């Protein structure tokens, strides 16, 4: 499937000038194609996976470019953001977001089609059929995904007799770019230092994302420093190589292994909680739109870690003093009314203690499923 640069331009007629931190869509496509060619040459068994991934990455590139000129989906004061970060609560969790459903909805349906063509077959087609029939309301589905409310999406999927993981993945392929742009917008232009949003982000001690609360897809290394990269919104925050990103156990250091000797991609294995995290050495840093490409390129590390009995935990449950998704608060009544109309159950998770850096995979919500990618 070729990328249509002309279509991308006309789908974003008010595009902003590209600055030094945002790559032009055509440049991203060229970089992706070059990387896919390298991956196919080195790992020919991944050629079918590249074919499935290509249209998804192209859509992500176009969507992020378009979302940058759309009105912000979420607005928070700097004080509100600083207070949430200092308390250990992700920025966009529990907040009412004005998602552009008409813009995002086609990506959910197209993701179902891609997954069906890529091997999920009838399972993915049933998910799309359920959405097409109106049994799952698109606005409620995207709101739950943006809020990382995996419990709500799994409950609805099981009620409808469709695959929860396929519905979850299709929704986050559309909601993820919106969360990326929202997080980038919220955190842009802030001053650094104690008491500031940037300072709170740079001091973030947790393994889950300070913007959305998801676990990292991998860590990037640059010299002696490391940055975790969120599996959902792509935000980066400081990584600690001396402890597990999930359980943050200070009593033992992770075990470092590579899929092949001398390979730049490694895994940090935690014998305490059984989790693992990939560490990559990209040059240059990986744009959000191409994170899935690098995740695929390093899948040998995932296979190696899984072969040793290590895995990734479900989403962390971040209850605490702030309201859980869809409890009383700004926008909650609107989401509940939409849920009542569509049948998408957006009930809160069971009460939990506030987030704690010492909690590990064993403390996450038992209602969660496979770890998000």
CA distance 288 to 285: 10
Please tell me the least confidently modeled range out of 42-51, 144-153, 285-294, 351-360. Answer: 351-360
Is the pLDDT at 342 greater than 70? The verdict is no
Is the pLDDT at 16 greater than 60? The verdict is no
Examine residue 95 and state whether it is found in any structural domain, yes or no.
Answer: yes
User: What would the pLDDT profile of 238-281 be if each residue is shown by its tens digit?
Assistant: 988 888 989 877 666 889 988 887 788 899 999 888 999 999 98
Examine residue 37 and state whether it is found in any structural domain, yes or no.
Answer: yes
Distances 262 to 43, 221, 259, 286, 366 between C-alpha atoms, Å: 17, 15, 9, 21, 38
Examine residue 268 and state whether it is found in any structural domain, yes or no.
Answer: yes
Residue 187 burial (10 A CB sphere; 0-12, 13-18, 19+) = middle
Examine residue 204 and state whether it is found in any structural domain, yes or no.
Answer: no
The pLDDT confidence band at residue 182, using thresholds 50, 70 and 90, is very high
Is the pLDDT at 348 greater than 80? The verdict is no
| Length, in residues, of the chain | 373
State mean pLDDT over 359-372. 33
Is the pLDDT at 309 greater than 80? The verdict is yes
Q: Which domain holds residue 33?
A: 5-190+327-353
What is the percent of the chain where pLDDT is above 70?
A: 76
Examine residue 27 and state whether it is found in any structural domain, yes or no.
Answer: yes
User: What would the pLDDT profile of 70-104 be if each residue is shown by its tens digit?
Assistant: 999 999 998 899 889 988 999 999 998 999 999 99
Residue 304 makes CB contacts below 8 A (sequence gap 6+) with 257, 258, 259, 267
Among candidate residues 327, 307, 308, the one with its CA nearest the CA of residue 318? 327
92 plus 181 within the same structural domain: yes
Total number of domains in the chain: 2
Examine residue 252 and state whether it is found in any structural domain, yes or no.
Answer: yes
Is the pLDDT at 7 greater than 70? The verdict is no
- pLDDT of 203 reads 85
- pLDDT of 334 reads 38
337 plus 298 within the same structural domain: no
Determine if the peptide bond prior to 115 is cis (ω within 30°): no
The pTM is what? 0.78
Examine residue 292 and state whether it is found in any structural domain, yes or no.
Answer: yes
Examine residue 58 and state whether it is found in any structural domain, yes or no.
Answer: yes
């Amino acid at each position: 499937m070729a990328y249509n640069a002309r279509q991308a331009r006309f789908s974003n007629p008010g595009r902003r000038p590209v600055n030094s931190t945002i790559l032009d869509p055509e440049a991203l496509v060229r970089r992706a194609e070059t990387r896919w060619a390298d991956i196919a040459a080195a790992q020919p068994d991944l050629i079918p996976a590249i074919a499935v991934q290509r249209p998804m990455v192209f859509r992500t590139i176009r969507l992020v470019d378009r979302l940058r000129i759309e009105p912000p989906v979420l607005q928070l004061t700097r004080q509100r953001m600083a207070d949430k970060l200092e308390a250990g609560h992700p920025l966009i969790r529990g907040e009412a977001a004005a998602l552009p459903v008409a813009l995002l909805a086609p990506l959910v349906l197209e993701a179902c089609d891609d997954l069906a063509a890529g091997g999920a077959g009838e399972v993915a087609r049933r998910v799309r059929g359920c959405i097409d029939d109106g049994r799952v309301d698109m606005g409620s589905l995207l709101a739950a995904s943006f809020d990382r409310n995996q419990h709500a999406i799994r409950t609805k999927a099981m009620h409808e007799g469709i695959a929860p993981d396929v519905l979850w993945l299709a929704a986050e392929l559309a909601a993820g770019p919106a969360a990326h742009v929202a997080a980038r917008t919220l955190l842009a232009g802030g001053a650094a230092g104690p008491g500031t949003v940037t300072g709170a982000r740079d001091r973030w001690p947790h393994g889950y994302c300070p913007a959305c609360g998801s676990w990292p897809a991998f860590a990037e290394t640059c010299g002696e420093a490391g940055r975790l990269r969120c599996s959902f919104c792509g935000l980066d925050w400081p990584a600690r190589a001396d402890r597990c990103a999930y359980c943050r156990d200070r009593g033992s250091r992770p075990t470092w292994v590579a899929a092949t000797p001398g390979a730049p991609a490694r895994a940090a294995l935690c014998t305490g909680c059984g989790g693992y995290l990939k560490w990559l050495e990209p040059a240059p840093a990986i744009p959000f739109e191409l994170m899935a490409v690098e995740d695929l390129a390093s899948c040998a590390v995932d296979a190696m870690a899984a072969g040793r009995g290590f895995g990734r935990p479900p989403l962390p449950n971040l209850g605490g003093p702030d309201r859980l998704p869809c409890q009383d608060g700004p926008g909650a009544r609107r989401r509940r009314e939409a849920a009542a109309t569509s049948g998408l159950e957006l009930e809160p998770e069971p009460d939990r203690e506030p987030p704690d850096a010492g909690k590990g995979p064993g403390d996450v919500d038992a209602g969660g499923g496979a770890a998000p990618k």
